Amino acid sequence: MINFNKTSRYYGDYCALKDISFRVKPKEFVSIVGRSGAGKTTLLKLLLKEEKASSGEILVDGKNIDEIKEKDVPNYRRKIGSIFQDFKLLPNKTAYENIAFAMEAGGRTDEEIAEDVPQILNLVELADKADNFPYQMSGGEKQRVAIGRALVHKPDILMADEPTGNLDPLHTWDIIRLLCRINELGTTVLLATHDREIVNALGRRVISLDRGQLIRDEEKGRYIV
Amino acid sequence: MFEGFKRIFKWGLKNFWRNGWLSTATVSIMSLTLLVITVLLMLNVVANVILEELENKIDISVYFKLDTSETDILKVKDQLEKLEEVNSITYVSQEDALVKFKERHKDNPILLQSLDELDVNPLEASLNIKAKETSQYASINQFLESVYYQEIIDKVNYMQNKDVIEKLNKIVTDVKAGGLILTLLLALIVFLVTFNAIRLAIYSSREEINIMRLVGAKNWFIRGPFLVEGVLYGVIGTVVSLLVLYPVFYFLSPKLSGFLPIEDIFGYFQDNLLAFFFLLLAVGIILGGFSSWFAVRKYLRR
Ligand SMILES: Nc1ncnc2c1ncn2[C@@H]1O[C@H](COP(=O)(O)OP(=O)(O)O)[C@@H](O)[C@H]1O
Ligand SMILES: [Mg+2]
């Protein structure tokens, strides 16, 4: 469903990604690993159309994402749920509102929102924090709100960029378990991380990047530097 | 569509409320701007009244030789009234002139006595002419100098007052032009201050705007609430500035009426309160809305 074909990305002369090629099948759980600066974030940004590839192509469901028109980008992004190390919650909105806003943005009706948001909050086990603002929640709770928000449009793909980077070990495993659960429910998960323990414990496919190059791609891989 | 509007209003109001101090600061600046605009408008009104008052004090008088008959004088008056430039003419007959003279010199018995000893009235009849514009006295004077009137006219006091009239005329035009420039300049400054205050407020939301884009919000849905906030600054700013100015004019008005020719500034303000309200509302809403719209645009492009 995702197909990177000799994709490169340059920042000026600096090469952040070089000739990256790989495919991801539906319902896969893929970890993208590598040291800081290896190009993991860049790769995810390309997929989300936040950045443009300098050369090569990226196909999603067989369609070149470069050909998506500006006005259809919001629709495209709704197919991909994304979460980040810094959560990217709207600071002025409660947990409930952060999720509801994403649904409103997707043009869902008030009835749908009133029905779905509590369900999502239950799924991420935050029903009792619905009215808390981000500054009133722990890092793990914030990340769970972000995951809940990423799920509102029932995305085919969930991409997580170092989602546990700011969390203590306990919360880290909460989040990883939640991602696995979501994957079991049928969503493709792309997890970018440099956390060796997580990757080794997962025992799923691992794509390793080093200085912008894809150096290893293994089923049931391990984190090897 | 309606649901979209409802949501935009909901978020606009919520953001305004939750941004507490930032909204307060922005509303304060907006209020100050509208306050300055109102004061500038009032100053213009007062200045215009003063100038008008000054202009009203100017006239030229035509004195007729003692043996001129009243019908001849009234004929001249008729002629003058046909002139484009003439605003009003008052006829002062010889008798009127005498009464006025006696009134003016009632503390000077010697002068009055010597006047009584004369058999004839030595005072000349005159026409007091007011032009529509100060600059028009020259051409009225020119008209009076035409040969036809030379026989009956003794003198026109234009020549004596020429310098004063011309000076005043220059002051009036200068003050009007200077006032206009000053008003526009000050208005521009306060507009820019508000514009930048709103831009700063939205600058603090740039990350939020980015997140909304990431969540897949369309541009109008991101911009809408900011627009509502901007308009709200204008609406509340209008109310605040009028609430501040109302008592200010109320207490200041009696103190000012002493040395300003306009008697009742507060009365004027009160009479035009509704007009001021709608004018400020329009200025505030356009200024707030435009600033927001423009500021958000920067973070939507990319
Ligand atoms: N906007 C940018 N301009 C210039 N260089 C960038 C930019 N974004 C990322 N880079 C560079 O690209 C490389 C890869 O970055 P990134 O994808 O963020 O790495 P990772 O997420 O694996 O830590 C880094 O060396 C980074 O400095
Ligand atoms: Mg990164």
Query: Phi, psi at residue A4, to the nearest 5°?
Result: -90, 130
Q: Which two tokens stand for residue B123?
A: 């005072």
Q: State residue B293's pLDDT score.
A: 94
Closest Cα partner for A112 from A125, A126, A102?
Answer: A102
Domain-terminating residue out of B151, B181, B214: B151
How far, in Å, CA of B268 to CA of B249, rounded?
A: 10
- Both B135 and B218 in one domain: the answer is no
Contact A38, A210 (CB under 8 A): yes
In chain B, residues with a C-beta closer than 8 Å to the C-beta of A105 are: 212, 215-218, 221
Cross-chain CB nearest to A105 (options B14, B19, B217): B217
In chain B, residues with a C-beta closer than 8 Å to the C-beta of A153 are: 216
Pocket of ligand 1 (CB under 6 A): A 11, 14, 16, 34, 36-42
- Both B103 and B199 in one domain: the answer is no
Per-residue pLDDT of chain A (225 residues; tens, 9 = 90+): 999 999 999 999 999 999 999 999 999 999 999 999 999 999 999 999 989 999 999 999 999 999 999 888 888 888 899 999 999 999 999 999 999 999 998 889 999 999 999 999 999 999 999 999 999 999 999 999 999 999 998 899 999 999 999 899 889 998 999 999 999 999 999 999 998 899 999 989 999 999 999 999 998 878 776
In chain A, residues with a C-beta closer than 8 Å to the C-beta of B214 are: 48, 50, 77, 82, 88
Atom 6, ligand 1: which residue's CA is nearest? A11
Query: Domain holding B138: CATH number?
Result: 3.30.70.3040
Q: Which of A101, A109, A157 to mutate to test the interface with B (most CBs of B within 10 A)?
A: A101
Q: Where do the DSSP E strands lie in chain A?
A: 2-11, 14-24, 29-33, 55-60, 63-64, 80-84, 157-161, 188-193, 205-210, 213-218
Q: How many domains does chain B have?
A: 2
Contact A93, A118 (CB under 8 A): no
Does the pLDDT of residue B195 top 80, yes or no?
Answer: yes
Q: State residue B161's pLDDT score.
A: 74
How far, in Å, CA of B171 to CA of B165, rounded?
A: 10
- Both B230 and B295 in one domain: the answer is yes
**Does B7 touch chain A if contact means CB atoms closer than 8 Å?**
yes
B7 min Cα distance to partner chain A (Å):
8
Given an 8 Å threshold on Cβ–Cβ distance, is B214 in contact with A153? no
Place of tokens 């794509």: A207
Q: What is the 3-state secondary structure (H, E, C) of B210-233?
A: HHHHHCCCCHHHHHHHHHHHHHHH
How far, in Å, CA of A81 to CA of A97, rounded?
A: 17
How far, in Å, CA of B7 to CA of B4, rounded?
A: 5
Closest Cα partner for B241 from B22, B39, B88, B13?
Answer: B39
- Both B176 and B260 in one domain: the answer is yes
Q: Which two tokens stand for residue B290?
A: 């435009």
- Both B86 and B22 in one domain: the answer is no
How far, in Å, CA of A63 to CA of A69, rounded?
A: 12
Q: Which two tokens stand for residue B113?
A: 């006595």
- Both B145 and B182 in one domain: the answer is no
Model confidence pLDDT, tens digit, residues B116-126: 888 788 888 88
- % of chain B exceeding 90 in pLDDT: 35
Place of tokens 């259809």: A72
Place of tokens 């009225």: B140
Given an 8 Å threshold on Cβ–Cβ distance, is A91 in contact with B218? no
- Both B177 and B107 in one domain: the answer is no
- Both B39 and B187 in one domain: the answer is yes
How far, in Å, CA of B219 to CA of B233, rounded?
A: 22
User: Which ligand is nearest to the Cα of residue A36, counting in written order?
Assistant: 1
Q: State residue B100's pLDDT score.
A: 85
Mutation test of ligand 1: which of A42, A190, A209 has the most ligand atoms closer than 8 Å to its C-beta?
Answer: A42
* Residue B161 lies inside a defined structural domain of this protein: no
How far, in Å, CA of B140 to CA of B41, rounded?
A: 34
Contact A76, A69 (CB under 8 A): no
**Does A49 touch chain B if contact means CB atoms closer than 8 Å?**
no
* Residue B86 lies inside a defined structural domain of this protein: yes
* Residue B143 lies inside a defined structural domain of this protein: yes
Model confidence pLDDT, tens digit, residues A123-175: 999 999 999 999 999 999 999 999 999 999 889 999 999 999 989 988 999 89
Say which residue, B247 or B262, is predicted with more confidence.
B247
Given an 8 Å threshold on Cβ–Cβ distance, is A149 in contact with B215? yes
Kindly give the distance from the C-alpha atom of residue A80 to the centroid of ligand 1, in angstroms, as a whole number.
Answer: 21
Closest Cα partner for B75 from B60, B64, B61?
Answer: B64
Helix axes B20-57, B219-256, angle to 10 degrees: 40
- Both B172 and B44 in one domain: the answer is yes
* Residue B59 lies inside a defined structural domain of this protein: no
* Residue B160 lies inside a defined structural domain of this protein: no
User: Which ligand is nearest to the Cα of residue A52, counting in written order?
Assistant: 1
pTM (whole model) above 0.90: no
Torsion over CA: B21, B22, B23, B25 (sign) = positive
Helix%, strand%, coil% for chain B, nearest 5: 75, 5, 15
The residue-averaged pLDDT of B296-302 equals 83
How far, in Å, CA of A74 to CA of A70, rounded?
A: 8
B1: number of CA atoms within 13 Å, CB side? 0
Dihedral, B142, B144, B148, B152 alpha carbons, nearest 10: -150
Does the pLDDT of residue B147 top 70, yes or no?
Answer: no
In chain B, residues with a C-beta closer than 8 Å to the C-beta of A110 are: 3
* Residue B40 lies inside a defined structural domain of this protein: yes
* Residue B159 lies inside a defined structural domain of this protein: no
* Secondary structure class of A216 (helix, strand, coil): strand
Strands A213-218, A205-210: parallel, antiparallel or unpaired by DSSP?
antiparallel
Return contacts of B4-11, CB within 8 angstroms, 24+ apart: B4/B220, B4/B221, B4/B224, B5/B224, B7/A104, B7/B221, B7/B224, B8/B221, B8/B224, B8/B225, B8/B227, B8/B228, B9/B228, B11/A101, B11/B224, B11/B225, B11/B228
- Both B272 and B140 in one domain: the answer is no
B212 min Cα distance to partner chain A (Å):
8
Q: Which domain holds residue B227?
A: 2-54+168-299
- Both B49 and B70 in one domain: the answer is no
Kindly give the distance from the C-alpha atom of residue A42 to the centroid of ligand 2, in angstroms, as a whole number.
Answer: 7
Given an 8 Å threshold on Cβ–Cβ distance, is A90 in contact with B214? no
Model confidence pLDDT, tens digit, residues B93-114: 888 888 888 888 888 888 888 8
Q: How many beta-carbon pairs below 8 A join chains A and B? A: 44
Q: How far apart are the first and last CA of chain B?
A: 26
Q: Which of B215, B220, B223 to mutate to test the interface with A (most CBs of A within 10 A)?
A: B215
Domain-terminating residue out of B95, B118, B151: B151
**Does B15 touch chain A if contact means CB atoms closer than 8 Å?**
yes
Interface ipTM: 0.83
Q: Taking the CA atoms of chain A, what radius of gyration do you get in angstroms?
A: 17
User: How far, rounded to the nearest angstrom, does the alpha carbon of residue A188 sit from its chain's CA centroid?
Assistant: 10
- Both B81 and B18 in one domain: the answer is no
Kindly give the distance from the C-alpha atom of residue A84 to the centroid of ligand 2, in angstroms, as a whole number.
Answer: 9
* Residue B200 lies inside a defined structural domain of this protein: yes
Domain-terminating residue out of B95, B120, B151: B151
